[in-house]
Amino acid sequence: MSTMTSSETSTDSAEASGEDTGEFALIARMAARLKGGLPEGVVGIGDDCAALPLSGGGVQLLTCDVMVDGRHFKSGATGMADVGWRVATASVSDICACGGLPGYALVSLVVPPHQTTDSLEALYEGLAEAEADYGFRVIGGNVSGGALLSVDMFMLGETPRFVSRGGARPGDRIAVGGTLGDSAAGLALLESATGAASGTDELVRRHRRPRAEVALVPLIQRVASSAIDISDGLSAELHHLAQASGARMDIQGALLPLSQPLTAFAQARGESPLRWALHGGEDYRLLFTFPPQHLGDIGASPVTVIGEVGEGSGVFLDGAPLPRGGWDHLAPERSDREP
């Protein structure tokens, strides 16, 4: 998940077809209502985080994410500690995508009448685990009543250099941290009639407890020309980078990093694991571009080069156009939970 973006909307499928529906079309309409320029150094709508220059140097990063029962998790089926962890990971990942480290957070809850105190305490246990792991602190928030449990996190972070979605240039390489598609496959296993089978525990863990790639932040600060986190799916994020940078993204299927559990899971279903790697969301991996002179730095890091930035526009897989897939928060209920 990311902050509202206007730059990512004009070529998305909803607008291309003339439909006035979907997450990105709605964001574009709302952004168009916000008038006036921003002060120098302020980054507004159009990236994973908003940003403000700090008087002593560096950049303050701001982001927010919300998770709603029935949409992002199912209370009763999803452990509440996992919900706390996941909402924190979503916000931390946005901060990391802009080259920053998390600092402080506010958490707001919408609590339905039937929600138990024990379940909310478990939610905060997950938040406390994320605090200790990622190095941020929750310092406030708000509580209200409502029909569905919702958890909203607003997070602050800092970076010495803001890394945007719009800096990729022809000749840059495209890289990604970790493996792809595991979280979506884990969700599919949890929702299947048989549940998680032997050998698939890692996929389920990757869905319940995805990890933001904080360890890659020093590399992002040092070499990245553009970056984004993979919350909605690789194909979706590549389209965001291509549009924001005014460039073409070419990737190779054979280079995509796939875990052994995902490969086995896809084969058991008679599917290609590439489908999950390309369109599965909530991996929270960092996708970034970098100039070729930094290939030496990349070779010593736990990331995989998957393609190259070119002249033109659009996203291509093995030379063929790659449609935008992945998650849309306003799509019909559960229609896009699997890629």
Predicted confidence (pLDDT) per residue in 213-239, tens digit: 999 999 999 999 999 999 999 999 999
Residue 205 falls in which region: left (phi positive, over 0), alpha (psi -120 to 50) or beta: alpha
- Asked if pLDDT for residue 288 goes beyond 80, the answer is yes
Beta strands 59-68 and 50-53 are antiparallel
Give pTM, 2 decimals. Answer: 0.89
**Per-residue pLDDT band at 334 (split at 50, 70, 90):** very low
Domains, the chain, ranges and CATH? 39-159 (3.30.1330.10), 173-321 (3.90.650.10)
Q: Are 102 and 213 in contact (CB under 8 A)?
A: no
How far from 178 is each of 19, 175, 206, CA to CA, in Å?
35, 10, 11
Q: In this predicted structure, what is the pLDDT of residue 78?
A: 87
pLDDT value at residue 35: 67
Tokens linked to 204: 């389920």
Burial class (CB in 10 A: 0-12, 13-18, 19+), 144: exposed
Using pLDDT thresholds of 50, 70 and 90, give the confidence band for residue 13. Answer: very low
Model confidence at 4, in pLDDT bands (50, 70, 90)?
very low
Question: What beta strand segments (E) does the chain contain?
Answer: 50-53, 59-68, 101-111, 137-145, 150-159, 173-177, 226-229, 248-251, 286-290, 303-310, 314-317, 320-321
Coil/strand/helix, residue 4: coil
CA dihedral 92, 98, 102, 103 (to 10 degrees): -140
Q: Using an 8 Å Cβ cutoff, are 104 and 63 in contact? A: no
Please determine, for residue 305, whether its predicted confidence score (pLDDT) is greater than 60. yes
Distance CA 47, CA 33 (A): 18
- Residue 259 to residues 201, 207, 274, 337, 339: CA-CA distances in angstroms? 12, 14, 11, 20, 17
CA angle 214, 216, 283 (to 5 degrees): 65
